[in-house]
Structure 1
Amino acid sequence: MTTQQPADGFYLRNAASGLVVRAGHVLMVRGTWPDPNAETYWLPGGGQQPGETLAACAEREVHEETGVRVTAGQMLVLREHIAGNHPESNIPAESGHHRVEAVFWCEILHEPATLGGTNHDDPQTGVEWVPLDKVAGLPMIPPFLQRLLPGLAVQAAAGTAHAFYAGDVE
C-alpha cells in the first residue's frame, strides 16, 4: 500500500513490526535500503492498512515478507521517526515524513520449509534467522533497535518485558 503525500507536504504513517525469535535467533529481513549499495537488516514489518489493528498489521507484514505465520502478543516498543528532526536520515526533511511504529512480540504459528514471503518490499533481498548475539554487529534500521534487540528478545521470551515509548529516534 502506498501512502499519498497530502498537498500540505506532511503525512503520518502508522506501521508495525514483529519480533520473532526461535532458538536464540531473530527473524530478520535483509535488503538494500536505505542505501542501494549496502546491505541492511530490519524486522519484518510495514504500513498499517485502513481498518487494520497494529497487531494485525504486524502479523500480516511478517507473513508477507517472510512466509512465517505468527500471532502478535505484547507490544514492546512504540517509536516515532520525524524526518525533519534527523538531518542524518536518508529521508529528506522536506518530505514531511512522520512514521509511528509499534514493535510486537510474535509467537510462531507456522514456519514454512523455506523462508520467503509473498509480498516483499522492493529493496528486500532475503530473509534469515540471525543469531541474537550477532545483531549488534549488523547494519540495522532503525539503528536504535540494534543495541536493544538482544535484551528485549530475552525479556519478552521470559515474560518480563515492559512496553516503552522510545520517542522520535533514528
Structure 2
Amino acid sequence: MPDAQGWIRNADTGIVVKEQHLLMIREDWPRPDTFFLPGGGQQAGETLSECAEREVLEETGVVPRRLAVLREYIPARHPGGAPMLSGATHRVEAMFWCEIVAEPTVLGGHNEDDTQTGIEWIPLSKIGHVRLLPPSLPRIVHAVLNDPAEGAVYLGDDHA
C-alpha cells in the first residue's frame, strides 16, 4: 500500500518501428492527442519482460526482444509535469526494443484504456512534432535506432 510519501509504479513499453514509422498509442490524457509507446503496468509476480510481452503483444501483435532503455519519472521534481493516472508518485519504465510477429487486423488489442483514442504508425520524421509522453521520446528512439545492438541505457529521472 502507498505510504505517506507515495508509491512506485513499474511499467513497460515497446519501441516498434516499421518502414520508418513508430507505433504509438493516442490518448486524451493528460491533453487531447497525446501519444505514448504501447505498454502498461507491471503486475505482482510478473517479471519486466513478462509484463512487456503481455502489455505490448495484447495491443500490437509484437513481442519484446531486449531491454533498450530504463527511465524513471518523478512528477514532484518537474514543475508543471503530468501527474500519473494511477496515483503513483514515481514511475519506473522499462522500454523494450520489439519485433513484429503478426500484425493484428485491428491495432489496439482487446483492453483499451478509457483515455485511449487510437493506435497508429507515426512517421519517424514527425515524432518531434506531436505531443509525446515522455517528451524525450524522439531523442530516445533516435539513439536506439542508431545503435540497436547497444546494451540497455539508464536515463534516471527523465522528463525533458
Q: Name the TM-score, length of structure 2 as normaliser.
A: 0.88
Mapped to 1, the partners of 2:12 and 2:88 lie a distance apart of 20
Other-structure match for 1:76 = 68
Other-structure match for 1:146 = 138
Match of 2:93 among 101, 105, 110: 101
Match of 1:55 among 46, 49, 53: 49
Mapped to 1, the partners of 2:129 and 2:147 lie a distance apart of 20
User: Structure 2: which amino acid aligns with 1:59?
Assistant: E
Higher helix share: 1
Are residues 107 and 96 of structure 1, via their aligned partners in 2, closer, same or farther at CA, if it must alter by over 3 Å? closer
1:44 aligns with 2:33: no
1:120 aligns with 2:120: no
Mapped to 1, the partners of 2:130 and 2:147 lie a distance apart of 21
Are residues 104 and 10 of structure 1, via their aligned partners in 2, closer, same or farther at CA, if it must alter by over 3 Å? same
Are residues 87 and 71 of structure 1, via their aligned partners in 2, closer, same or farther at CA, if it must alter by over 3 Å? same
- Identity over aligned residues, as a percent? 47
Q: CA deviation at 1:9?
A: 4.0
Other-structure match for 1:20 = 16
RMSD: 1.8
8 Å Cα contact 2:28/2:115 also seen in 1:
yes
8 Å Cα contact 2:9/2:88 also seen in 1:
no
Q: Which runs of 5+ in 2 are unaligned?
A: none
The 4+ residue runs of structure 1 with deviation greater than 6 A are: none
Q: CA deviation at 1:7?
A: 4.2
Mapped to 2, the partners of 1:153 and 1:111 lie a distance apart of 21
Secondary structure of the residue aligned to 1:128 is strand
1:10 aligns with 2:9: no
Other-structure match for 2:82 = 90
User: Structure 1: which amino acid aligns with 2:8?
Assistant: L
Mapped to 1, the partners of 2:113 and 2:66 lie a distance apart of 25
Secondary structure of the residue aligned to 2:101 is strand
Q: CA deviation at 1:155?
A: 2.8
Q: How many residues get paired?
A: 157
Q: Name the TM-score, length of structure 1 as normaliser.
A: 0.84
